[in-house]
Structure 1
Amino acid sequence: MAALLLLAGGGYAAFGIVGGDVDEEDAEVVAAREPLTAFLAAWARHDARKAAGYTDTPDEAASLLTSVLTNLKPSRTAIEDGEGRKQGEGKARFPFSVTMQIPGAGAVTWRSHAQVSDTSGTWKVEFTSSMIHPELSSGRTLALKSAGNRAQVLDAEGEPLRAESLVGTVDPVSGKGASGLEARYDDILSGGRKAGKSLVVADRQSGRAVKELDEAPAAEGRPVRTTIDPRVQEAAADALTGSDVHAAIVAIDPRNGHILAAANRPGGFNRALEGRYPPGSVFKVVTAAALLKGGMKAETPAPCPKFARVDGQRFENQKQFELPTGSTFADAFTQSCNTYFVDARNRLSDTDLRDTAQAFGIGGSWDVGTTTYDGSVPVTTSDNDKAAATIGQARVQASPLVMASVAATVKSGTFSQPVLVPDAVKEKYEAPAELDAGVAGELRELMRATVTSGSAHALKNLSGAPHAKTGTAEFGSGKPPRTHAWMIGYQGDSDLAWAVLLEDGGSGGADAGPVAQRFLGNLAR
């Protein structure tokens, strides 16, 4: 018998002779062995396309081999070829065995056989699914399945978390976390390196395992507990029901930064925690803090014309409104007057907005227990840049989580870094600056007035003494520009701060306001 050993990565085939001389093989068997040797050598090197070229149906062969190699991800493959036998004129059959070193499953071995035929003077390997593995048939592939019991992601009450964008998904074939918290905490949930993988036959369309081929030692995963309050999460998710734009709601506890809700519509991308958006006028909370620290008072006169011009650039208020003569800074804040804030830029240095934002934790590196975008407020580099930054445009960026945290900082007076998975947080980010207590008090009064007599009037009749700020953030290059709708706030009589974002959703007061109203109304029931 002639034996052939083929190793992945070796780039060559080594022959050994067992029980006779290779010349004793039938001439046709010798001719048939040549394409088979090349096929198996390419397979052993994990070169599916090269291997398929030696078969009679290269596209089908390449597709299945690619699927198998992609699913199993073997670190090493060895294929041993046995003695060939004639199967009639122009046909020969060869047994072979495959051994793959597969991460999580160890060494997996199976035996199969290949038929090689002479078609019009050219020997080709006859490709069939069962040649790759005897348990395979058309439409099936080899895959891995996790052994053992996978634990669940839990809410703050210890129940399975019902928040698709946070939890993420598990690959149906491999059993490995594919996105969200399932991916981030895959080792914990699955049992880590103790978790074995078993070889299965799987349907290529659905990925569903249809037959177990071996067994792996079971492993017990450990659950991952989050801070999500199921009642708050449900209220947020229900508030977004029916939204015809991409939207998010985040709620946090101002006392400790615990994230109580993170709802996204539609699911998939976790825009609530990871999204990057211009915050628009909700950023005026930060700008107002900088101005108040510099000596501004609520009663300071604040002209609010329709337009403000900066080096040829025109800024305007939403729908080009203007406030009457005698208006104050409190009026400009509660009515969200862009032109006043733009004109007040001369009261601020190039670093003031950056430095004030730091007191709200913006731009730090937050250790939340999941992926987040933690905001950016760069030092301004020109008069126009500063003008736009005062109203949350230009290069100012934030996530809904960041803006909910801004509202929470106003409520508590101190930044407390948001947290989703407490056990995973190694070191909470500490803000390098503190919010002045007097400034925090004035911001609370301004945000309450925004509800009672300003642009957040959608919340006026709700219980709980809501405090809020609206925002309409321009983006893109359209004429007129498209806008994201924002509203942020907190409840005066409870430990809840929140942010609402509607992507390309219109106006903060008119569009985000009713969503915030539904959210808070749901919680009041």
Structure 2
Amino acid sequence: MPKSGYATTRPRTSRTVIRAVTSVAVVSAVAVGGTYAAGIGPFAGGAAGPDPAALAQARGFLADWAAGRLPSAAARTSRPATAQEVLRNFTTGLDIGRPTLTAAAPTKAEDDTVNVPFTATMPIADLGTWTYTSQLPLHKRGDGTWTVEWALSVVHPRLSETKKFHLARADTHAPEVTDRTGAALSGAAFPSLRPVLAQLDSGTGGGARHGTVQLVDRATGKVERTEARFGGRSGRPVGHPVRTTLDATWQAAAEKALASGAHGRNASLVALRIDNGEILAMANSPSAGFNRAVSGTYAPGSTWKIVTGSALLLKGAVAPDDIVDCPKYLTVGKEFHNVETSEHRNASFLKDFTESCNTAFISLRGKLGDRELGDVAGTYFGVGQQWHVGIPSYDGSVPAPHDETEKAASMIGQGRVQANPLIMASVTATAASGTFHQPSITRGNKNTTSTTPLPQKVVRQLRRMMRSTVTDGTARVLADLPGDIGAKTGTAEVSEEEPNNGWLAAHRGNVAVACVVEHGVTGGGSAGPVLRSLLAAVPTDPA
């Protein structure tokens, strides 16, 4: 079966013509933004069980839970509504990042229930990992399918109607923190920085890192037992503040932009300098708890077309003025479509980029090898390498696709491609300048990354396409602002039950910015106003 999803239909004159054709790849498909197939996800390869279908359902549940696809995880249980609520609330106040959930060998009980033990490794920001074991009881329904029999103990053996978990931190000496000019930064003045300030380390003995996960009575708050204990340094020298790369003016504008534009939804943004990667602003909504700006794991949606476009341009597989047809639908194991099922017949690749045409990009998947997108992301953009930002960060993942459907999804920033606003701001900075700089919030961090500069021809092409996205495409929300702004919008599917996440990444002068708004539906309509507010409030580059 050929990989190519396009065909040349007439000789090239002034422009190459590449047309998408609808084809069906015979594959075992993984739905974009939906559930994992058996054997895929953040757990070990499984041992044989009493019924492979039961183990597959357990693995699917663990994969969905770990990836944050809570509606999909809950749908695999006997009580979806209750399960979704519990899974969503379980990490509230615990500062837990993306968990690792590892399935063990299943066992069969006398009542034909299949139990799948698993180990949960929960990373707690700035402290360490909380590891425990639990198990999934699965029952076979009348139609022959398996379901996770829901109970609070599924999440943790000691979670109950009367008991919950509480994170108690004991920072003996919270560090004094300043911006790049020496101006004081505090959680009171900049509420969105609270999760960031808690993570900072001065390098000369930053704030002490001590804490416990406690099992407490829901009614009285009485501590019943300590589940996990974390210890660290005992203190920091007095008079040695942590000087960050943040800019108080940009931070204040970012806080205001999120407060007015997120409309109560989870959202985050990052602004950084293009010439050296120094972070100028980092904001989260809500302001307390999880630092989703640097530790979030999201499908970046069409903002990822900056990387996909780079991969195609690097090979000479396409040029901005080549014709790459943009039909409403394209089937590759599943049906892909454009936002609002739009189409742009006889569109140039430039038009496909500015209008964020999914089907056009997917039609070019045969131009790239299965590992090529991930290789380009790592080699030129540093994505997936270990970054030393100055606080804990998630540095992205672009795994090789398992099949043609997943490859199609990866071309448009879906499937298993994952990023966050820090990563996409960095990607934008690299595209605008040609050179990756490790992002940093403190100076003097070690740098173990190794990247190759983008050819200047590719940089010029990317800048042209991103500028056109502002003047003539989906990022027109920024068109009336001063400066030569370039941008890329993104709409990322989460699940069939939830609205899409909205993305926007942009550059102006020496600054690159990126924003995600969960359940924002479209990037231009949700993240667009946030970044417009930010860039309007701070019209010039920082010193």
Give the TM bin, normalised by the shorter chain. 0.5 to 0.7
C-alpha separation between the residues in 2 aligned to 1:344 and 1:144?
Answer: 50
Shift in Å at residue 168 of structure 1?
Answer: 4.0
Q: Which amino acid aligns with 2:526?
A: D
Shift in Å at residue 380 of structure 1?
Answer: 2.1
Shift in Å at residue 428 of structure 1?
Answer: 4.8
Of the three residues 303, 318, 322, the one matched with 2:325 is 303
Distance 1:146 1:415, change over 3 A: closer
Shift in Å at residue 166 of structure 1?
Answer: 4.0
Residue 437 of structure 2 corresponds to: 416
Q: Which amino acid aligns with 1:411?
A: A
Shift in Å at residue 189 of structure 1?
Answer: 4.1
Residue 416 of structure 2 corresponds to: 395
Shift in Å at residue 435 of structure 1?
Answer: 1.8
Shift in Å at residue 192 of structure 1?
Answer: 10
Residue 539 of structure 2 corresponds to: 524
Residues 101-135 of structure 1: per-residue CA shift (max 9 Å, x gap): xxxxxxxxxxxxxxxxxxxxxxxxxxxxxxxxxxx
Q: Which amino acid aligns with 1:449?
A: S
Q: Is the 8 A contact 1:272 1:401 kept in 2?
A: yes
Q: Is the 8 A contact 1:155 1:228 kept in 2?
A: yes
After TM superposition, what 4+ stretches of structure 1 lie above 3 angstroms from structure 2? 143-147, 162-169, 184-187, 189-193, 216-219
Residue 181 of structure 2 corresponds to: 157
Shift in Å at residue 146 of structure 1?
Answer: 8.5
Residue 506 (structure 1) aligned with residue 521 (structure 2):
yes
Q: Is the 8 A contact 1:304 1:327 kept in 2?
A: yes
Q: Is the 8 A contact 1:282 1:486 kept in 2?
A: yes
Residue 469 of structure 1 corresponds to: 488
Q: Is the 8 A contact 1:188 1:224 kept in 2?
A: no
Residues 172-221 of structure 1: per-residue CA shift (max 9 Å, x gap): xxxxx9x422xx4597245999xxxxxxxxxx999xxxxxxxxx999625
Distance 1:217 1:430, change over 3 A: closer
Superposed counterparts of 1:25-104, under 5 Å: none
Q: Which amino acid aligns with 1:371?
A: P
Residues 449-491 of structure 1: per-residue CA shift (max 9 Å, x gap): 000000000011110111000000001242xx52110000100
Residue 373 of structure 1 corresponds to: 394
Q: Which amino acid aligns with 2:327?
A: P
C-alpha separation between the residues in 1 aligned to 2:169 and 2:371?
Answer: 54
Residue 463 of structure 2 corresponds to: 444
Distance 1:150 1:396, change over 3 A: closer
Shift in Å at residue 511 of structure 1?
Answer: 1.7
Residue 453 of structure 2 corresponds to: 434
Of the three residues 496, 500, 523, the one matched with 1:483 is 500
Distance 1:186 1:497, change over 3 A: closer
Of the three residues 349, 357, 371, the one matched with 2:369 is 349
Q: Which amino acid aligns with 1:288?
A: G
Distance 1:316 1:152, change over 3 A: same
Partner secondary structure for residue 524 of structure 1: coil
Q: Is the 8 A contact 2:470 2:478 kept in 1?
A: yes
Q: Is the 8 A contact 2:206 2:236 kept in 1?
A: no
Partner secondary structure for residue 188 of structure 1: coil
Shift in Å at residue 436 of structure 1?
Answer: 2.2
Residues 478-513 of structure 1: per-residue CA shift (max 9 Å, x gap): 2xx52110000100xx21100011011110112211
Residue 247 (structure 1) aligned with residue 247 (structure 2):
no
Shift in Å at residue 434 of structure 1?
Answer: 3.3
Q: Which amino acid aligns with 1:471?
A: G
**When you count helix as a share of all residues, which structure comes out higher?**
1
Of the three residues 471, 475, 496, the one matched with 2:511 is 496
**Structure 1 residue runs without a partner (length 5+):** 1-142, 170-176, 194-203, 207-215
Residue 255 of structure 2 corresponds to: 237
Residue 333 (structure 1) aligned with residue 353 (structure 2):
yes
Residue 7 of structure 2 corresponds to: none
Residue 364 (structure 1) aligned with residue 385 (structure 2):
yes
C-alpha separation between the residues in 1 aligned to 2:308 and 2:331?
Answer: 19
C-alpha separation between the residues in 1 aligned to 2:415 and 2:375?
Answer: 17
Q: Is the 8 A contact 2:421 2:515 kept in 1?
A: yes
Residues 337-386 of structure 1: per-residue CA shift (max 9 Å, x gap): 00111111111110110111111110000011111111011122211111
C-alpha separation between the residues in 1 aligned to 2:495 and 2:180?
Answer: 39
Q: Is the 8 A contact 1:165 1:180 kept in 2?
A: no
Larger Rg: 1
TM-score (norm 2): 0.60
C-alpha separation between the residues in 1 aligned to 2:209 and 2:516?
Answer: 37
Partner secondary structure for residue 184 of structure 2: coil
Shift in Å at residue 524 of structure 1?
Answer: 2.4
C-alpha separation between the residues in 1 aligned to 2:354 and 2:496?
Answer: 28
Shift in Å at residue 241 of structure 1?
Answer: 1.2
C-alpha separation between the residues in 1 aligned to 2:174 and 2:320?
Answer: 56
C-alpha separation between the residues in 2 aligned to 1:367 and 1:410?
Answer: 21
Shift in Å at residue 248 of structure 1?
Answer: 0.8
Q: Is the 8 A contact 1:236 1:519 kept in 2?
A: yes
Moved more, 289-298 or 332-341: 289-298
Residues 362-420 of structure 1: per-residue CA shift (max 9 Å, x gap): 00000111111110111222111110000000000001100000110012111011011
Using CA pairs under 8 Å that are at least 6 residues apart, name the structure with larger relative contact order, 1 or 2. Answer: 2
Q: Is the 8 A contact 1:246 1:502 kept in 2?
A: yes
Partner secondary structure for residue 488 of structure 1: strand
Shift in Å at residue 294 of structure 1?
Answer: 2.0
Q: Is the 8 A contact 1:281 1:473 kept in 2?
A: yes
Distance 1:145 1:349, change over 3 A: closer
Partner secondary structure for residue 482 of structure 1: coil
Partner secondary structure for residue 411 of structure 1: helix
C-alpha separation between the residues in 2 aligned to 1:462 and 1:319?
Answer: 27
Residue 286 of structure 2 corresponds to: 266
Q: Which amino acid aligns with 1:365?
A: Q
TM-score (norm 1): 0.62
Shift in Å at residue 297 of structure 1?
Answer: 0.7
**Percent identity over the alignment?**
40
Q: Which amino acid aligns with 1:351?
A: R
C-alpha separation between the residues in 2 aligned to 1:150 and 1:356?
Answer: 40
